Amino acid sequence: MNPQAVNLKYYVVDFFLLINNDHPKEEGDEMVEKYDVVVAGGGPAGLVAAKAAAAEGAKVLLLELQAQIGGQTQSASWVPKDLLTPKLKGAVATKLKEVRLHALHEEVRVRGDLGAVVDRRQFDKLLAAEAASSGAEIWLSAPVRELLVTDGAVRGIRTEAGGWSEQIQAEVVVDATGARGEWSSLLLRKVLGKDWHRERLAFSNEYLMANLKDEKVAELIFTSYFAPGGYAWIYPLEKGFAIAGIQGIRIHPDAALDEFIGKQAPPRLTGAVPVAAFRSQLPLGGPLKQTCADGIIAVGGSAGQIYPLSGQGLRYALRCGEIAGRVAVDAVTDGDVTRERLSEYEQGWRSEFGSEFEVGGLLHSSLSVSQDRKMDSLLRALVGKPRLQRAFIDVFTGFKPMRALPVLLKDAEIARVFGRETVEKALALK
Ligand SMILES: Cc1cc2nc3c(=O)[nH]c(=O)nc-3n(C[C@H](O)[C@H](O)[C@H](O)COP(=O)(O)OP(=O)(O)OC[C@H]3O[C@@H](n4cnc5c(N)ncnc54)[C@H](O)[C@@H]3O)c2cc1C
């Protein structure tokens, strides 16, 4: 092949058109396998999509870049109780009985049954077990390097690792590659030719801390100095471990986390030591306007299905993954995998969650301006009002935002914090 061809955006290899191929291979050095649905990415969204598609009888292959499922997300996540199926309860590290909210000058302790912290290493592997039980094939250490495109439609992928390379044909590719790393966000980057907006991208770092006292208490610390447009957190695990993390816009997450732990010195972390670090990033600008194209569906982090106010996303990843898997198989059965046919997926998730993402975006934009002053006022308004405190948790986390929103915004002080325009717009979305 002419080496100059590498610089062209499109060029032909075999009978496929490859996009952004930096590593052209000789013709004939690859096998071509065929599947109904190929899922790129073995995080929660991809695993559930694979399970749903395989459960409908489709031939499904899931490819994970890392050497193990959950390899990129080894930390902990705070989830609502109703997300935990009997199987997923196996990943619960702590049932939360208290959440402490800290602003610059105010502190509030919210008590009750506040969901659970799950160990993501376990959580994601349990989802993988379910996908495999439904009949999905899972390949590890198998990064998707390219999309195979013909006549403008995605027809498969190429996976490549350690000198081994393979083209795989798919009726539908599910892009579940998340939003972290150069090989992620395939629909956005490789099909739509765009990237995440830097001003809406939160950077994060988390430490697994050892040698803490076990407490069933999570802490959220709102501080524009360490975490502009975001916050820091401590999520308890078991046996003296906890996750201490930080996320913010335009921060260097490693420096921000070290500075936060060093300068803020949360009393709970006194004597604790970091034993692992997990860097990540989160698109907080809301979901992509387009989450499918001919032959491809994006789901979870790679579709921007992240709640902008807190950055949580497991609720969406699991449900949208389920819709994606089902619609993919129905489209294959119909013999029509055009964007128009696949848009049933887009309509499905938007009708369930579209308003939530908009509300989360509105509230996040409002709180990002004069963050410290607003968070102080907000916490002050919550003091001594358990029902309001609970509503704040449900709105902030995105556990039940639409149900809790009217309760939260009915409080005059809280409505003042967000501002009349934001409140009116948010309530109109209800
Ligand atoms: C710091 C942080 C804290 C969070 N806390 C919470 C929380 O407390 N509660 C909550 O609900 N949500 C939380 N979230 C959000 C939650 O983690 C995401 O919503 C969820 O992980 C999205 O799942 P996913 O499957 O879309 O993507 P991911 O979990 O990112 O998984 C993507 C997978 O694709 C793989 N991959 C990437 N590129 C390729 C490729 N080219 N080929 C093959 N595989 C590839 C990756 O290795 C990874 O395994 C948090 C996120 C971050 C970053």
Q: What is the pLDDT of residues 286-329, one digit of tens each?
A: 999 999 999 999 999 999 999 999 999 999 999 999 999 999 99
Q: What is the rounded CA–CA span in Å between residue 386 and residue 383?
A: 8
CA distance 170 to 26: 22
* Cβ atoms within 10 Å, residue 329: 22
- Structural domains of the chain, with CATH: 3-70+123-197+286-356 (3.50.50.60), 76-118+198-283 (3.30.9.10), 369-428 (no CATH)
- The answer to whether the CB of 392 falls within 8 A of the CB of 378 is yes
Instruction: List, in order, residues 6 or more apart from 140 with CB less than 8 Å away.
Output: 42, 64, 66, 67, 68, 69
Instruction: Determine the pLDDT at residue 161.
Output: 76
pLDDT recorded at residue 31: 58
DSSP 138-205: EESS--EEEEEEETTEEEEEEEEETTEEEEEEEEEEEE---SSSTT--HIIIIIS-----GGGEEEEE
Average pLDDT, the chain: 92
Mean pLDDT of each 10-residue bin along the chain, 430 residues long = 27 31 46 91 98 98 94 86 97 97 97 96 97 97 96 96 88 97 95 95 96 95 95 95 96 95 92 95 96 98 98 98 98 98 98 98 96 98 97 98 97 97 95
Type of residue numbered 317: A
Helix (H) or strand (E) holding 394: helix 386-397
The whole-angstrom separation of Cα 325 and Cα 172 is: 10
Residues 363-392 pLDDT 10s = 999 999 999 999 999 999 999 999 999 999
| pLDDT for 30 | 59
Quickly tell me which residue has 């002050």 as its tokens: 380
Question: Ligand 1: which residues within 6 Å by Cβ?
Answer: 40-46, 63-66, 71-73, 77-79, 143-144, 176-178, 180-181, 183-184, 204, 206, 245, 247, 280, 282, 300-301, 306, 311-315, 317
Q: Among 282, 322, 396, name the best residue to mutate to test ligand 1's pocket (greatest count of ligand atoms within 8 A of Cβ).
A: 282
> How far is CA 148 from each of CA 32, 105, 251, 302, 389, rounded to the nearest angstrom?
11, 55, 36, 18, 50
Q: How far is the CA of 124 from the centre of ligand 1 (A)?
A: 10
pLDDT of residue 3: 29
Residue-wise pLDDT for 121-158, tens only, equals 999 999 999 999 999 999 999 999 999 999 999 999 99
Instruction: Compute the distance from residue 178 Cα to the ligand 1 centre, in Å.
Output: 5
Are the C-beta atoms of 248 and 174 separated by less than 8 Å? Answer: no
Nearest to 176 by CA among 166, 185, 164: 185
pTM value is: 0.93
Distance CA 385, CA 379 (A): 10
